[in-house]
Chain A
């Protein structure tokens, strides 16, 4: 069992990375857009703590936290956001399209779930699990249900982690979703656990047995985590009631973890993580920009 300081450090790395992204966006250092994970850190860390080599993680547009929790390089992620040659995908994918080892993120909501199912089919019997992170917004996409059906039908080793942050971009879940979130899984006979928490330890403890069942060939499982994002959907597009945001900020997963740790440990982790973020972004800034001369490399792309 990992210790709480380990969890706090892991979540803080994501938090500070994302805060730097939002802080630097208006300065024109990045290009394009971003979707930050601030507030949801406990989900990725709690679940992906169970990762073993060979497991597959499928992520969405809000992928930075998942990638860092997967073990991806903070520097390479910063470089990708800055369009540097040293980026995870050399500037080709950007913030939403990160691929490294067995980690796959794509900005098409829900469109990733069929791929995750296919990878799970390929891994059936291997003892490895596919962990597919989706949000409540993706529940509007038909491809999700086609995939859930096949996952259940073929007993595929997949854990769907549904991070319900209660908003699809600007639209609250009440205006998007009929029935219930868990009902979407239960309809296919997929066992589902729903937790409303920002406690990383609780998420970790709930995810473990679910993943064990998946790995042992028990078929797909779903973990619904009711959560909240503290930042805007993207960069500055937040129309939510500030009072509501403040209410959820009281359940900040980092504050919760820090409150249970000695203050000297917390401040030493804070310093260490801040230094890591500083170094990662500094190094990325100094890296050479993506090379238009390599635009047509990796072909199959036509003349």
Chain B
């Protein structure tokens, strides 16, 4: 099963299991089923609770917030993550704050899901990884799906169980990826950490103890898996990969466990470098008391995402960038 089917089937289950669940978004009705087809079949099965909306991102996130305030469990799809900025006021000034600002008198069980990321040639306004702009907003949980383990289960947890607003970030390239269940990979051993929005530690099976750690999330985890194998088989550099699902609020416990042994950290993200997720992870790692660390951040270059394939490839972080950063870092210390 690929990630698209896992999310679609989880949404179907959510609508079936709880009549308070609604699904709203642009172009989400069948036969179109959403720009990325995540909503395929939902409106046929649940015509009353799947609502196609005008092109009004701020409006529909606000509508979702209002519905959540009345005890419903709305899921709002934003067609491209780039368009989330249109709804930033609704997310930050309304949905995220309401509970705390009202002294816990209300809850906002809202899920906003959106495809992020490039590598499809959609150009500067349909390819960005903008989640860093919404990380650290108090009251907003930001979760990034990956192809690991159980992406559908994470969707269900957000939609059916979480009482507070969740932004679900889905990299576009994940949709076609097969879900990798722990134990399902012959080359990599996977350990799950935590129960809510879990983290994962991965190592090459049978390899010597790792001496560096790569921390990442989303589709970059797929690239990092390739890098892990290339490093081990082609360069005899052994790394551990820590993949996060929950980006904000930040909980890095499994990373610190890994860093105690390796003392070398590479952060990898598809968004631009400055003031990004990797900077926060690096700072917290240094503050954690583990001691001296060697650090490298791998991220996109600080320009808009280009449209031309060759330019886009050069702008975004690739497997080779991870491999060369790891080789360079493994020689230090």
B216 located at the interface, meaning its Cβ lies under 8 Å from any Cβ of chain A in the complex: no
A92 and B102 contact, CB distance less than 8 A: yes
B54 and A150 contact, CB distance less than 8 A: yes
Contacts of A197 in B (CB 8 A): none
Contacts of B105 in A (CB 8 A): 89, 99-100
Task: Report Cα–Cα, A213/B81, bound state, in Å.
Answer: 39
Task: Report Cα–Cα, A146/B53, bound state, in Å.
Answer: 10
Q: Measured between C-beta atoms, what is the minimum distance from A276 to chain B in Å?
A: 24
Task: Report Cα–Cα, A298/B105, bound state, in Å.
Answer: 9
B70 and A99 contact, CB distance less than 8 A: no
Q: Which of B62, B101, B139 contacts A115 (CB 8 A)?
A: B62
A116 located at the interface, meaning its Cβ lies under 8 Å from any Cβ of chain B in the complex: yes
Contacts of A100 in B (CB 8 A): 105
Task: Report Cα–Cα, A153/B250, bound state, in Å.
Answer: 40
CB neighbors of B among A130-163 (8 A)? 142-143, 146-147, 149-150, 153-154
B63 located at the interface, meaning its Cβ lies under 8 Å from any Cβ of chain A in the complex: yes
0 or 1 for each of B219-256: is its CB under 8 Å from A? (1 = yes): 00000000000000000000000000000111100000
Can you list 7 A-B contacts with CB-CB less than 8 angstroms, sorted by A residue number? A99-B101, A111-B89, A113-B62, A114-B60, A118-B66, A118-B74, A150-B53
B54 and A153 contact, CB distance less than 8 A: yes
B62 and A300 contact, CB distance less than 8 A: no
Q: Which of B56, B66, B69, B138 has the most CB of A within 10 A?
A: B66
Q: Which of B90, B94, B138 contacts A301 (CB 8 A)?
A: B138
- Sorted nearest first, the 4 A-B pairs with minimum C-beta distance are A118-B66, A114-B62, A146-B59, A302-B249
Given A92-B101, A302-B249, A303-B250, A149 and B56 contact (CB-CB distance below 8 Å):
yes
B104 located at the interface, meaning its Cβ lies under 8 Å from any Cβ of chain A in the complex: yes
Q: How large is the interface on A (under 10, 10 to 19, 20 to 34, 35 or more residues)?
A: 35 or more
B106 and A99 contact, CB distance less than 8 A: yes
A297 located at the interface, meaning its Cβ lies under 8 Å from any Cβ of chain B in the complex: yes
A93 located at the interface, meaning its Cβ lies under 8 Å from any Cβ of chain B in the complex: yes
Contacts of B69 in A (CB 8 A): 104, 115, 118-119, 122
B90 and A298 contact, CB distance less than 8 A: no
A120 located at the interface, meaning its Cβ lies under 8 Å from any Cβ of chain B in the complex: yes
Q: Measured between C-beta atoms, what is the minimum distance from B323 to chain A in Å?
A: 33
Q: Looking across the interface, which residue of chain A has its beta carbon closest to that of B59?
A: A146
Q: Looking across the interface, which residue of chain A has its beta carbon closest to that of B165?
A: A300
Q: Looking across the interface, which residue of chain B has its beta carbon closest to that of A126?
A: B70
Task: Report Cα–Cα, A266/B72, bound state, in Å.
Answer: 47
Q: Which of A97, A111, A298 contacts B104 (CB 8 A)?
A: A298
Given A111-B90, A114-B90, A149-B56, A99 and B67 contact (CB-CB distance below 8 Å):
no
Contacts of B54 in A (CB 8 A): 146, 149-150, 153
B59 and A121 contact, CB distance less than 8 A: no
